Copies of this chain bind each other. A is one copy, B any other.
Amino acid sequence: MTTVNDPADTEGQLIAASKVSGTNVYNLAGQHLGSIYDVMLNKQSGQSEYAILSFGGFLGIGEKYHPLPWHILNYDPLQEGYVVDLDRDRLEGAPVYEGRDEAAWDDRGWGHRVDDYYGAPGHDDLQGSLSAADPVLGLPAARI
């Protein structure tokens, strides 16, 4: 087997889809928001379109599943997790479902609701700039 001993690569740029589940998600303030429960892939393009964030407990209620558009996630190798520019208030108002059903993903209405809430995908220029675009968010302007 060819080996490539490039230290820059040893962090692993790839992850098996079967192992994404459980990856931690933080906000810019370093708060642990939850972890990735699953990822919704486009069957043809193979692009991850939504990450399903599972969280629960801090409000004393059951596990909740928040689909997040992939484009708002930034991978941080230091934390070995994803960072999103969201505070918990923002997350609490977001589209959510409870229980481990798949939120009727065949129904694109789900995706539309999520896109409407966080900003449409494909606008990579908006990545990480939700706070600027949405004064309700009220987050510091710091960028990672």
**11 interchain pairs, CB-CB under 8 A:** A2-B109, A4-B107, A9-B106, A13-B43, A16-B102, A17-B20, A17-B38, A39-B46, A43-B75, A44-B75, A47-B47
Copies of this protein chain in the complex: 2
Known: A9-B108, A38-B16, A107-B3. A46 touches B44 (CB 8 A): no
Q: Are A39 and B38 in contact (CB-based, < 8 A)? A: no
Chain B, Cβ-Cβ closest to A50: B14
- Residue A40, interface by CB 8 Å: yes
- Residue A49, interface by CB 8 Å: yes
Contact surface of A with B, Cβ cutoff 8 Å: 1-4, 6, 9-18, 20-21, 38-44, 46-51, 70, 73-75, 102, 104-113
Chain A interface mostly helix, strand, loop or mixed? mixed
| A6: B residues at CB distance < 8 A | 108
Known: A110-B1, A112-B4. A41 touches B12 (CB 8 A): no
| A43: B residues at CB distance < 8 A | 12-15, 75
Known: A17-B41, A40-B16. A1 touches B104 (CB 8 A): yes
Q: Are B44 and A2 in contact (CB-based, < 8 A)? A: no
- A74 to B43 alpha-carbon distance, docked (Å): 9
Cβ distance A91 to chain B, nearest Cβ, rounded Å: 18
Chain B, Cβ-Cβ closest to A106: B12
- A110 to B43 alpha-carbon distance, docked (Å): 24
Q: Are A17 and B14 in contact (CB-based, < 8 A)? A: no
